[in-house]
Amino acid sequence: MSLPEFLADRVAAEIRQQMDGVLALTEQLARQRLTADGEACVAGVRSAAEGVSRMVDAGRDLKAVVRQGLTPDLGPVVLREIMDEIQERWQPRAAASGVTLLVSFDGEPDVSAIADRNRLLQIFDGFIGEAVAAQARGAIEVGLSVETGPDGVRLEGRVRGPRDTGWDSQDIESRIRNIAERLGLEVALGAMLARHVLSGMNGRLRKEANAGASETVSFEIDLSPVVEEAAAPAEDTGRAAHILVVDDNATNRMVAQSLVEMFDCTSESAEDGEEAVEAAQTGRFDLILMDIRMPRMDGVAATRAIRALPGRLGAVPIIALTANADPDDAEGYLAAGMNGVVEKPMKPEHLLQALQQALDPGSSAAAA
Protein backbone atom coordinates (compact mmCIF):
# COMPACT_ATOMS: atom_id res chain seq x y z
CA MET A 1 0.00 0.00 0.00
CA SER A 2 1.37 3.41 -1.00
CA LEU A 3 1.81 6.19 1.54
CA PRO A 4 -1.11 8.28 0.11
CA GLU A 5 -3.41 5.23 0.33
CA PHE A 6 -2.20 4.49 3.86
CA LEU A 7 -2.88 8.06 4.96
CA ALA A 8 -6.29 8.12 3.24
CA ASP A 9 -7.28 4.94 5.07
CA ARG A 10 -6.12 6.39 8.38
CA VAL A 11 -8.08 9.59 7.75
CA ALA A 12 -11.23 7.57 7.01
CA ALA A 13 -10.75 5.50 10.17
CA GLU A 14 -10.19 8.65 12.26
CA ILE A 15 -13.31 10.32 10.86
CA ARG A 16 -15.35 7.19 11.62
CA GLN A 17 -14.04 7.13 15.19
CA GLN A 18 -14.82 10.80 15.73
CA MET A 19 -18.35 10.35 14.37
CA ASP A 20 -18.89 7.46 16.79
CA GLY A 21 -17.94 9.88 19.58
CA VAL A 22 -20.35 12.52 18.28
CA LEU A 23 -23.17 9.98 18.14
CA ALA A 24 -22.43 8.87 21.71
CA LEU A 25 -22.60 12.48 22.90
CA THR A 26 -25.89 13.12 21.10
CA GLU A 27 -27.36 10.07 22.82
CA GLN A 28 -26.39 11.53 26.18
CA LEU A 29 -27.76 14.96 25.28
CA ALA A 30 -31.03 13.44 24.13
CA ARG A 31 -31.55 12.13 27.68
CA GLN A 32 -31.34 15.65 29.13
CA ARG A 33 -34.16 18.12 29.55
CA LEU A 34 -33.98 20.26 26.46
CA THR A 35 -36.15 22.85 24.83
CA ALA A 36 -37.85 22.01 21.56
CA ASP A 37 -35.14 23.96 19.73
CA GLY A 38 -32.45 22.09 21.66
CA GLU A 39 -33.96 18.72 20.76
CA ALA A 40 -34.11 19.75 17.11
CA CYS A 41 -30.43 20.76 17.20
CA VAL A 42 -29.40 17.43 18.77
CA ALA A 43 -31.45 15.53 16.18
CA GLY A 44 -29.76 17.52 13.41
CA VAL A 45 -26.30 16.78 14.75
CA ARG A 46 -27.13 13.09 15.10
CA SER A 47 -28.50 12.93 11.54
CA ALA A 48 -25.39 14.63 10.15
CA ALA A 49 -23.04 12.33 12.08
CA GLU A 50 -24.95 9.25 10.92
CA GLY A 51 -24.70 10.48 7.33
CA VAL A 52 -20.93 10.99 7.57
CA SER A 53 -20.53 7.54 9.15
CA ARG A 54 -22.52 5.92 6.35
CA MET A 55 -20.42 7.70 3.72
CA VAL A 56 -17.15 6.60 5.33
CA ASP A 57 -18.35 3.00 5.66
CA ALA A 58 -19.65 2.92 2.07
CA GLY A 59 -16.42 4.42 0.73
CA ARG A 60 -14.22 1.91 2.54
CA ASP A 61 -16.44 -0.99 1.54
CA LEU A 62 -16.55 0.14 -2.09
CA LYS A 63 -12.77 0.41 -2.18
CA ALA A 64 -12.42 -3.15 -0.82
CA VAL A 65 -14.96 -4.59 -3.27
CA VAL A 66 -13.35 -2.89 -6.29
CA ARG A 67 -9.81 -3.84 -5.26
CA GLN A 68 -10.34 -7.35 -3.89
CA GLY A 69 -13.63 -8.48 -5.40
CA LEU A 70 -16.72 -9.60 -3.53
CA THR A 71 -16.13 -11.97 -0.61
CA PRO A 72 -19.62 -12.83 0.61
CA ASP A 73 -20.36 -13.92 4.15
CA LEU A 74 -22.85 -16.66 3.31
CA GLY A 75 -25.40 -18.24 5.59
CA PRO A 76 -29.10 -19.12 5.84
CA VAL A 77 -31.27 -16.00 5.45
CA VAL A 78 -35.04 -15.76 5.99
CA LEU A 79 -35.81 -13.55 3.00
CA ARG A 80 -38.94 -11.90 4.43
CA GLU A 81 -36.74 -10.49 7.22
CA ILE A 82 -34.76 -8.54 4.61
CA MET A 83 -37.84 -6.48 3.86
CA ASP A 84 -38.64 -6.08 7.56
CA GLU A 85 -35.19 -4.56 8.04
CA ILE A 86 -35.60 -2.35 4.96
CA GLN A 87 -38.83 -1.01 6.46
CA GLU A 88 -37.18 -0.34 9.82
CA ARG A 89 -34.07 1.39 8.51
CA TRP A 90 -35.62 3.45 5.70
CA GLN A 91 -39.02 4.50 7.04
CA PRO A 92 -37.66 7.32 9.25
CA ARG A 93 -35.29 8.63 6.56
CA ALA A 94 -38.03 8.60 3.93
CA ALA A 95 -40.46 10.35 6.25
CA ALA A 96 -37.87 13.03 7.01
CA SER A 97 -37.67 13.69 3.26
CA GLY A 98 -41.46 13.90 2.97
CA VAL A 99 -41.67 10.58 1.13
CA THR A 100 -44.00 7.67 1.88
CA LEU A 101 -42.23 4.30 1.78
CA LEU A 102 -44.32 1.26 0.78
CA VAL A 103 -42.58 -2.08 1.40
CA SER A 104 -43.93 -5.47 0.25
CA PHE A 105 -42.89 -9.12 0.17
CA ASP A 106 -44.29 -11.76 -2.19
CA GLY A 107 -43.42 -15.34 -1.26
CA GLU A 108 -43.71 -17.97 1.44
CA PRO A 109 -43.24 -16.28 4.84
CA ASP A 110 -40.53 -18.68 6.00
CA VAL A 111 -38.65 -19.23 2.71
CA SER A 112 -34.87 -19.15 3.20
CA ALA A 113 -31.77 -19.19 0.99
CA ILE A 114 -28.01 -19.23 1.33
CA ALA A 115 -27.03 -15.58 0.95
CA ASP A 116 -25.06 -12.66 2.36
CA ARG A 117 -27.64 -10.70 4.32
CA ASN A 118 -25.65 -7.47 4.49
CA ARG A 119 -24.86 -7.51 0.77
CA LEU A 120 -28.53 -7.94 -0.13
CA LEU A 121 -29.34 -4.96 2.07
CA GLN A 122 -26.60 -2.91 0.38
CA ILE A 123 -28.18 -3.52 -3.03
CA PHE A 124 -31.58 -2.32 -1.81
CA ASP A 125 -29.95 0.59 0.06
CA GLY A 126 -28.28 1.86 -3.10
CA PHE A 127 -31.43 1.97 -5.22
CA ILE A 128 -33.70 3.18 -2.41
CA GLY A 129 -31.20 5.94 -1.59
CA GLU A 130 -31.33 7.16 -5.19
CA ALA A 131 -35.13 7.12 -5.22
CA VAL A 132 -35.57 8.87 -1.85
CA ALA A 133 -33.03 11.58 -2.72
CA ALA A 134 -34.67 12.24 -6.12
CA GLN A 135 -38.28 12.13 -4.91
CA ALA A 136 -39.58 15.50 -3.73
CA ARG A 137 -42.85 14.06 -2.43
CA GLY A 138 -45.21 11.14 -2.97
CA ALA A 139 -44.46 7.43 -2.52
CA ILE A 140 -41.66 5.01 -3.26
CA GLU A 141 -42.52 1.33 -3.59
CA VAL A 142 -39.98 -1.32 -2.60
CA GLY A 143 -40.72 -4.99 -3.15
CA LEU A 144 -39.13 -8.42 -3.08
CA SER A 145 -40.58 -11.47 -4.86
CA VAL A 146 -39.22 -14.93 -4.17
CA GLU A 147 -39.71 -18.06 -6.30
CA THR A 148 -38.39 -21.51 -5.39
CA GLY A 149 -37.89 -24.22 -7.98
CA PRO A 150 -35.61 -27.05 -9.07
CA ASP A 151 -32.86 -24.58 -9.98
CA GLY A 152 -32.82 -22.91 -6.56
CA VAL A 153 -34.25 -19.67 -5.19
CA ARG A 154 -34.76 -16.66 -7.46
CA LEU A 155 -35.11 -13.17 -5.99
CA GLU A 156 -36.57 -10.20 -7.81
CA GLY A 157 -36.12 -6.90 -6.04
CA ARG A 158 -37.96 -3.77 -7.19
CA VAL A 159 -37.70 -0.07 -6.37
CA ARG A 160 -40.27 2.22 -7.97
CA GLY A 161 -39.33 5.88 -7.84
CA PRO A 162 -39.09 9.04 -9.93
CA ARG A 163 -38.09 8.72 -13.57
CA ASP A 164 -34.61 9.63 -14.80
CA THR A 165 -32.52 9.47 -11.66
CA GLY A 166 -29.46 9.15 -13.91
CA TRP A 167 -28.86 5.46 -13.30
CA ASP A 168 -29.47 4.35 -16.89
CA SER A 169 -26.53 6.17 -18.47
CA GLN A 170 -24.44 3.75 -20.52
CA ASP A 171 -21.16 4.81 -18.87
CA ILE A 172 -21.12 3.86 -15.18
CA GLU A 173 -18.62 6.60 -14.29
CA SER A 174 -20.76 9.29 -15.95
CA ARG A 175 -23.84 7.84 -14.26
CA ILE A 176 -22.32 7.96 -10.79
CA ARG A 177 -20.89 11.45 -11.35
CA ASN A 178 -24.36 12.56 -12.42
CA ILE A 179 -25.88 11.12 -9.26
CA ALA A 180 -23.18 12.71 -7.07
CA GLU A 181 -23.74 16.15 -8.58
CA ARG A 182 -27.53 16.06 -8.37
CA LEU A 183 -28.23 13.88 -5.34
CA GLY A 184 -25.09 14.02 -3.17
CA LEU A 185 -21.98 11.98 -2.39
CA GLU A 186 -23.66 9.58 0.05
CA VAL A 187 -26.24 8.60 -2.57
CA ALA A 188 -23.55 8.17 -5.25
CA LEU A 189 -21.42 5.94 -3.01
CA GLY A 190 -24.41 3.75 -2.16
CA ALA A 191 -25.44 3.56 -5.83
CA MET A 192 -22.01 2.48 -7.02
CA LEU A 193 -21.59 -0.02 -4.17
CA ALA A 194 -25.00 -1.55 -4.97
CA ARG A 195 -24.03 -2.07 -8.61
CA HIS A 196 -20.66 -3.64 -7.75
CA VAL A 197 -22.25 -5.97 -5.20
CA LEU A 198 -25.01 -6.96 -7.63
CA SER A 199 -22.45 -7.69 -10.34
CA GLY A 200 -20.35 -9.73 -7.91
CA MET A 201 -23.43 -11.85 -7.10
CA ASN A 202 -24.07 -12.44 -10.84
CA GLY A 203 -27.27 -10.40 -10.59
CA ARG A 204 -29.18 -8.91 -13.50
CA LEU A 205 -30.34 -5.29 -13.54
CA ARG A 206 -33.03 -3.64 -15.66
CA LYS A 207 -35.32 -0.61 -15.74
CA GLU A 208 -38.97 -0.27 -16.76
CA ALA A 209 -40.80 2.98 -17.43
CA ASN A 210 -44.19 3.31 -15.76
CA ALA A 211 -47.16 5.45 -16.59
CA GLY A 212 -46.64 9.00 -15.39
CA ALA A 213 -43.33 10.25 -14.05
CA SER A 214 -42.06 7.08 -12.39
CA GLU A 215 -39.93 4.10 -13.29
CA THR A 216 -39.09 0.75 -11.67
CA VAL A 217 -35.54 -0.45 -11.20
CA SER A 218 -35.49 -4.22 -10.72
CA PHE A 219 -32.80 -6.82 -10.22
CA GLU A 220 -32.72 -10.62 -10.17
CA ILE A 221 -30.39 -12.86 -8.18
CA ASP A 222 -30.26 -16.67 -8.10
CA LEU A 223 -29.45 -18.22 -4.72
CA SER A 224 -29.03 -21.71 -3.35
CA PRO A 225 -31.73 -23.12 -1.08
CA VAL A 226 -31.10 -24.12 2.51
CA VAL A 227 -30.59 -27.90 2.75
CA GLU A 228 -31.23 -29.45 6.14
CA GLU A 229 -29.50 -32.78 5.52
CA ALA A 230 -25.96 -33.45 6.66
CA ALA A 231 -23.29 -35.20 4.62
CA ALA A 232 -21.94 -38.57 5.68
CA PRO A 233 -18.83 -38.49 7.87
CA ALA A 234 -15.51 -39.65 6.46
CA GLU A 235 -15.34 -43.42 6.30
CA ASP A 236 -14.16 -45.17 9.48
CA THR A 237 -13.10 -41.96 11.25
CA GLY A 238 -16.07 -41.17 13.48
CA ARG A 239 -15.69 -37.44 12.68
CA ALA A 240 -16.91 -34.90 10.17
CA ALA A 241 -15.23 -34.91 6.77
CA HIS A 242 -12.48 -32.33 6.24
CA ILE A 243 -12.66 -31.02 2.68
CA LEU A 244 -10.25 -29.02 0.52
CA VAL A 245 -11.98 -26.51 -1.80
CA VAL A 246 -9.82 -25.58 -4.81
CA ASP A 247 -10.88 -22.64 -6.99
CA ASP A 248 -9.13 -19.53 -8.29
CA ASN A 249 -12.30 -17.44 -7.78
CA ALA A 250 -12.74 -16.15 -4.22
CA THR A 251 -16.53 -16.01 -4.45
CA ASN A 252 -16.72 -19.60 -5.72
CA ARG A 253 -14.51 -20.74 -2.84
CA MET A 254 -16.74 -18.97 -0.32
CA VAL A 255 -19.89 -20.52 -1.79
CA ALA A 256 -18.43 -24.04 -1.83
CA GLN A 257 -17.05 -23.74 1.71
CA SER A 258 -20.37 -22.43 3.01
CA LEU A 259 -22.22 -25.35 1.44
CA VAL A 260 -19.91 -28.09 2.76
CA GLU A 261 -19.91 -26.49 6.20
CA MET A 262 -23.70 -26.38 6.03
CA PHE A 263 -23.45 -30.17 5.60
CA ASP A 264 -21.54 -30.37 8.92
CA CYS A 265 -18.14 -30.78 7.22
CA THR A 266 -15.04 -28.67 7.85
CA SER A 267 -13.04 -27.09 5.05
CA GLU A 268 -9.90 -25.31 3.90
CA SER A 269 -9.22 -23.69 0.54
CA ALA A 270 -6.56 -23.44 -2.17
CA GLU A 271 -6.40 -21.03 -5.10
CA ASP A 272 -4.95 -23.25 -7.84
CA GLY A 273 -3.77 -26.73 -8.72
CA GLU A 274 -0.24 -26.30 -7.39
CA GLU A 275 -1.56 -25.28 -3.97
CA ALA A 276 -3.97 -28.24 -4.10
CA VAL A 277 -1.18 -30.77 -4.73
CA GLU A 278 0.88 -29.26 -1.91
CA ALA A 279 -2.11 -29.41 0.47
CA ALA A 280 -2.94 -33.00 -0.55
CA GLN A 281 0.58 -34.10 0.46
CA THR A 282 -0.24 -33.26 4.09
CA GLY A 283 -2.88 -36.00 4.27
CA ARG A 284 -5.30 -33.74 6.18
CA PHE A 285 -8.22 -34.03 3.76
CA ASP A 286 -10.92 -36.64 3.32
CA LEU A 287 -12.07 -35.19 -0.02
CA ILE A 288 -11.09 -32.50 -2.53
CA LEU A 289 -13.49 -30.29 -4.52
CA MET A 290 -11.44 -29.35 -7.59
CA ASP A 291 -12.16 -26.55 -10.04
CA ILE A 292 -11.08 -27.36 -13.60
CA ARG A 293 -9.89 -24.09 -15.14
CA MET A 294 -7.24 -22.44 -12.97
CA PRO A 295 -3.94 -20.61 -13.55
CA ARG A 296 -0.52 -22.25 -13.06
CA MET A 297 -1.98 -25.78 -12.87
CA ASP A 298 -5.51 -26.73 -13.88
CA GLY A 299 -7.74 -29.23 -12.09
CA VAL A 300 -7.04 -32.16 -14.40
CA ALA A 301 -3.26 -31.78 -14.10
CA ALA A 302 -3.57 -31.38 -10.32
CA THR A 303 -5.69 -34.54 -10.09
CA ARG A 304 -3.10 -36.55 -12.03
CA ALA A 305 -0.34 -35.23 -9.78
CA ILE A 306 -2.30 -36.19 -6.64
CA ARG A 307 -3.04 -39.65 -8.01
CA ALA A 308 0.73 -40.13 -8.42
CA LEU A 309 1.27 -39.63 -4.67
CA PRO A 310 2.01 -42.79 -2.67
CA GLY A 311 -0.49 -44.76 -0.59
CA ARG A 312 -3.63 -43.14 0.79
CA LEU A 313 -2.42 -39.66 -0.20
CA GLY A 314 -3.01 -40.52 -3.84
CA ALA A 315 -6.38 -42.17 -3.16
CA VAL A 316 -8.23 -39.16 -1.68
CA PRO A 317 -11.62 -38.72 -3.43
CA ILE A 318 -11.67 -35.77 -5.87
CA ILE A 319 -14.84 -34.19 -7.26
CA ALA A 320 -14.69 -31.86 -10.25
CA LEU A 321 -16.41 -28.46 -10.00
CA THR A 322 -17.02 -27.10 -13.47
CA ALA A 323 -19.37 -25.18 -15.74
CA ASN A 324 -18.44 -27.66 -18.51
CA ALA A 325 -20.20 -30.83 -17.38
CA ASP A 326 -21.40 -32.32 -20.66
CA PRO A 327 -20.87 -36.11 -21.00
CA ASP A 328 -17.63 -35.86 -23.01
CA ASP A 329 -16.04 -33.46 -20.54
CA ALA A 330 -17.22 -35.47 -17.54
CA GLU A 331 -15.78 -38.64 -19.08
CA GLY A 332 -12.41 -36.90 -19.42
CA TYR A 333 -12.45 -35.79 -15.79
CA LEU A 334 -13.23 -39.31 -14.59
CA ALA A 335 -10.49 -40.72 -16.84
CA ALA A 336 -8.04 -38.31 -15.17
CA GLY A 337 -8.82 -39.92 -11.81
CA MET A 338 -11.70 -37.86 -10.46
CA ASN A 339 -14.52 -39.55 -8.57
CA GLY A 340 -17.43 -37.37 -9.65
CA VAL A 341 -18.52 -34.13 -11.28
CA VAL A 342 -20.69 -31.31 -9.89
CA GLU A 343 -21.84 -28.62 -12.30
CA LYS A 344 -21.57 -24.90 -11.55
CA PRO A 345 -23.49 -23.05 -10.32
CA MET A 346 -23.70 -25.69 -7.62
CA LYS A 347 -27.03 -26.97 -6.42
CA PRO A 348 -26.79 -28.06 -2.78
CA GLU A 349 -28.60 -31.34 -3.37
CA HIS A 350 -26.21 -32.29 -6.21
CA LEU A 351 -23.16 -31.46 -4.12
CA LEU A 352 -24.58 -33.38 -1.16
CA GLN A 353 -25.16 -36.45 -3.33
CA ALA A 354 -21.64 -36.30 -4.75
CA LEU A 355 -20.11 -35.93 -1.28
CA GLN A 356 -22.06 -38.87 0.10
CA GLN A 357 -21.18 -41.10 -2.84
CA ALA A 358 -17.49 -40.21 -2.75
CA LEU A 359 -17.11 -40.48 1.04
CA ASP A 360 -19.13 -43.68 1.44
CA PRO A 361 -19.67 -45.30 -1.99
CA GLY A 362 -20.86 -48.61 -0.49
CA SER A 363 -23.66 -46.90 1.41
CA SER A 364 -24.69 -44.89 -1.66
CA ALA A 365 -24.84 -48.02 -3.81
CA ALA A 366 -26.96 -49.79 -1.22
CA ALA A 367 -29.33 -46.84 -1.03
CA ALA A 368 -29.61 -46.79 -4.82
Give the tens place of pLDDT for each residue, 220-231.
999 988 875 544
pLDDT at 306: 94
Say how far apart CA 205 and CA 218 lie, in whole Å: 6
Q: Are 252 and 201 in contact (CB under 8 A)?
A: no
pLDDT for the residue 231: 45
Model pLDDT, residue 17: 78
Amino acid, res. 345: P
Whether 51 and 90 share a structural domain: no
Return mean pLDDT, the chain: 83
User: What is the DSSP-derived secondary structure letter of residue 118?
Assistant: H
**233 inside domain:** no
Q: Distance of CA 44 to CAs 16, 58, 364, Å?
A: 18, 21, 64
Instruction: Find, among 239, 324, 318, 242, the residue nearest to 277 by Cα.
Output: 318
How much of the chain is in helix, strand and coil states, percent to nearest 5? 50, 20, 25
Q: How many contiguous H segments (helices) and E segments (strands) does the chain have?
A: 12, 12
Structural domain contains residue 314: yes
- Looking at per-residue pLDDT, the higher value among 112 and 177 belongs to 112
Q: Which long-range contacts (CB under 8 A, 24 or more apart) does 307-316 make?
A: 307/336, 307/337, 309/280, 309/281, 312/283, 313/280, 313/281, 313/283, 316/280, 316/285, 316/286, 316/287, 316/288
Tell whether the torsion through CA atoms of 3, 8, 13 and 15 is positive or negative: positive
Considering the domain architecture, whether residues 329 and 316 belong to the same structural domain is answered as yes
100 and 197 housed in the same domain: yes
Provide the pLDDT for residue 172: 65
The predicted pLDDT at position 325 comes to 67
Which residues sit opposite 207 in a β-bridge?
Answer: 217
The secondary structure of 222-243 as a DSSP string is EEBPP----PPPPTTTSS--EE
> Is omega for the bond preceding 295 within 30 degrees of 0, making it cis?
no
For residues 218 and 90, state if they share a domain.
yes
Q: Which of 59-73, 83-97, 98-112, 302-316 has the lowest mean pLDDT?
A: 59-73
Residue 362's pLDDT is 55
pLDDT mean over 323-343? 85
pLDDT at position 230, please?
A: 47
Residue type for position 346: M
Taking alpha carbons only, the member of 142, 160, 150 closest to residue 82 is 142
pLDDT attached to residue 51: 78
Given CA atoms 61, 145, 211, 208 in this order, what sign does their dihedral have?
Answer: positive
Q: Are residues 271 and 153 in the same domain?
A: no
Do 64 and 74 reside in the same domain of the chain? no
Per-position b or e across 78-103, b if 16+ CB within 10 A of its CB: ebbebbeebbeebeebbeeeebebeb
Q: Report the number of distinct structural domains present in the chain.
A: 3
Predicted pLDDT of residue 367 = 34
94 with 213, same domain: the answer is yes
CATH number for the domain harbouring residue 98: 3.30.565.10
Q: Looking at the structure, do residues 54 and 184 belong to the same domain, yes or no?
A: no
Q: Which residue range(s) make up the domain with 34?
A: 1-69
Q: Let me know whether 62 and 83 are in one domain.
A: no
Strand order, beta sheet including 318-322: 266-270, 242-246, 287-291, 318-322, 340-343
What average pLDDT does this structure show over 304-320? 92
CATH of the domain at 356: 3.40.50.2300
Q: What is the per-residue pLDDT for 277?
A: 94
